[in-house]
Chains A and B, each alone.
Chain A
Amino acid sequence: MSQTASPEQIIARPLPDTVPEQGGHRRRRAGSWWIYVLLTLGLIIMVGPFIWMVLDSFKGQAELAQLPPTWFPVAPTLDNYSKLFTQLNFPQYFMNSVILAVSITILNLLFCSMLGYALAKLKFKGRNALFLLVLATLMVPSTVTLVPLFVLMSKLQLVNTLTAVILPESAGALGVFLMRQFMRDIPDELLDAARVDGASEFYIYWRLVLPLSGPALATLTILTFLASWNDFIWPLIVLTNDQSYNLPVALATFAIGQHGTDYGLLLAGAVVVVTPIVIVFLLLQRYFTQGIAMTGLKG
């Protein structure tokens, strides 16, 4: 018999043995312990850097330079954090990041759900063209708009203001797509019944459709909050003044600037940037996966 098997050969082969289904599966599981070993090694590589980041952020300069390195901080200190928050204006950056993420998320929830409702439930002229436009937008790289956006913002005197970041990011395409797909599954009968009773379209959207769209709104909230919290390229360009930085821009500026070798400080900064998102992720992780496979009307 030849070494390589074509599908026909595989099909033509006799049954290997006649173990019952259940037993065959169990045997396969037991034989694949090494998969777990590999996956666990991989998991250590994925999660380890975060643990190391937290541990080292509590070490002082001397302990960080020590050889061989210590695992747990021998002399734990909050110096790195107090330096961030007293000398380096991190409270301001943190507030900026919160303002950006909250406003961008609220505006996206509003604008995307409005357009999503129109695309899903109102038969207006130009609806299909508009939907195609939304989809096409998903493919444009962000670098294409940077230069004209910057010129526009400097003409509007908005450079170095948070508004310059909020405005362009307040109406994303992904959110429209998400809301439209979800709202399409809300039964038309429900809406028509309200129309017959004389309800306005705004009333239907606000009091009927939105309350039924909870899961889609939750997913959009998380995805938008995440993206705007981690947002970097456009803020890096339009927020050039120290007072207006968001957290990622501040951290990157320190990392490539005068604090480039102060690793304790930089790691503490990374902890401040990462922690809120990791908490949100661990608490709400089922919505993350829901965002990936969002179909059907539940409940």
Chain B
Amino acid sequence: MSSITNTITPATEAARKAPPPSDVRRHNLAGWLFATPWVVIFVVFMAFPIIASLILSFTDFGIANLQDPFNLHFIGLQNYGRLAHDQLFLTAALNTIIVVVIGVPLNVGLALLIAIGVNRGVRYVRAIFRVGYYLPVVTSIVAIAVVWRFLLDPDAGLVDNLLRLVGLHGPNWLGDPSLALPSVIFVVIWRNVGYAMVILLAGLQGVDPTLYEAAHIDGAGAFARFRYVTIPMMRPVLLFVTVITSIGFLQVFQEPYVMTQGGPLNRTLTISQYLIQQGFDFFNQGYASAMAYVLFLAIVILTLVQFRLLRPQT
């Protein structure tokens, strides 16, 4: 065939404008063949459980159903009604809300300040700070929770020992009911601030430097430049970081699980923790599913609200 000797461009140009029927069939078949492995796993291990969980939340699914999954009773909204009166769930919900309401602004604000500071540094200093602040993000939360539990120990811990060196009597950070949740929030931020910082740093580097120069020439001080240049230009990045951080903080589990097991007096019990207790210690799995959907709904609502409040204004 002589078409082989033709230059490639005209042939492909024609192909893109009007694909011959055989081409359409080829793309359809190949497309779905390539998609199949991922889609099969997705349907079986993701889509099916998401739907099943919603159905289970309207049933009394319990330990007996592990053997006999289909012998269950639909009980309408009873699980959801029970949540509204479950003192432990309300405590867990309140704790989780505190983690989000206090933790997210602190985390994002701190990350922004660090990012601005690091961004002013010279090249290699910037690299050192970026690596250092990002280090906790890559490490296992269980491992860092073990380390912090030790550091915060009232007898052997470094923090109270350092306080002792200067003559202070340090508190029992994780054992004191009024300090336990703030301590957990501190560790959560310590572990997550680097992630937000690196994204915000990338955002800062995308801000047109001539805007700062113009503001500088116009006599804007550091705060005015921050308020009228950095914040408006960074709005989309800030929105992204706030949404991602909120979704993560709403699901806080490993830090309290390892450091306090939800105590003292349930002051650090979170929704995820209580959900796993109900679902896998007591096998109240219908009830746990209802809790999971409440959490899911909270995530969706919070995300939508943040998009409304923080979206770039036109």
State the A residues within 8 Å of B (CB).
Answer: 5, 7, 10-11, 13-16, 21, 24, 29, 32, 35-36, 38-39, 42-43, 45-47, 49-50, 52-53, 56, 64-65, 67-69, 110-112, 114-115, 117-119, 122-127, 130, 133, 137, 139-152, 154-155, 167-168, 170-171, 176, 188-189, 192-193, 195-197, 201, 205, 226, 229-230, 232-233, 236-237, 247-249, 251-252, 255-256, 263, 266-267, 269-270, 273-274, 277-278, 281-282, 285, 288-289, 292-293
Contact = CB atoms under 8 A, between A and B. Distances in A.
A263 B56 contact: no
Contacts of B138: 226, 277-278, 281, 288
Contact of B276 (A110, A130, A141, A237): A237
B279 to A, nearest CB: 5
Given A21-B213, A151-B285, 16 more contacts: A10-B224, A13-B218, A46-B190, A114-B35, A125-B31, A143-B295, A146-B275, A150-B280, A171-B38, A189-B9, A196-B11, A232-B254, A237-B280, A248-B141, A248-B142, A267-B147
A124 B33 CA distance: 10
Nearest to A69: B161
22 contacts: A5-B224, A10-B219, A36-B117, A49-B148, A112-B38, A115-B38, A118-B31, A118-B35, A122-B31, A122-B34, A124-B29, A126-B32, A147-B285, A151-B52, A192-B16, A193-B12, A201-B34, A230-B139, A236-B276, A251-B142, A263-B156, A281-B135
A145 B53 contact: yes
Contacts of B141: 230, 232, 248
Interface of B: 3-4, 8-9, 11-12, 15-16, 19, 24, 26-35, 37-39, 41-42, 44-46, 48-50, 52-53, 56, 61, 65-66, 69, 114, 117-118, 120-121, 125, 128-136, 138-151, 153, 155-156, 158, 161, 164-165, 190, 194, 198-199, 202, 213, 215-220, 224, 228, 247, 250-251, 253-254, 257-258, 261, 272, 275-276, 279-280, 285, 288-289, 292-293, 295-296, 299-300, 303
Nearest to A32: B120
B139 A274 contact: yes
B69 A151 contact: yes
Contacts of B276: 143, 146, 233, 236-237
B114 A39 contact: yes
B188 to A, nearest CB: 14
Contact of A148 (B9, B12, B53, B132): B53
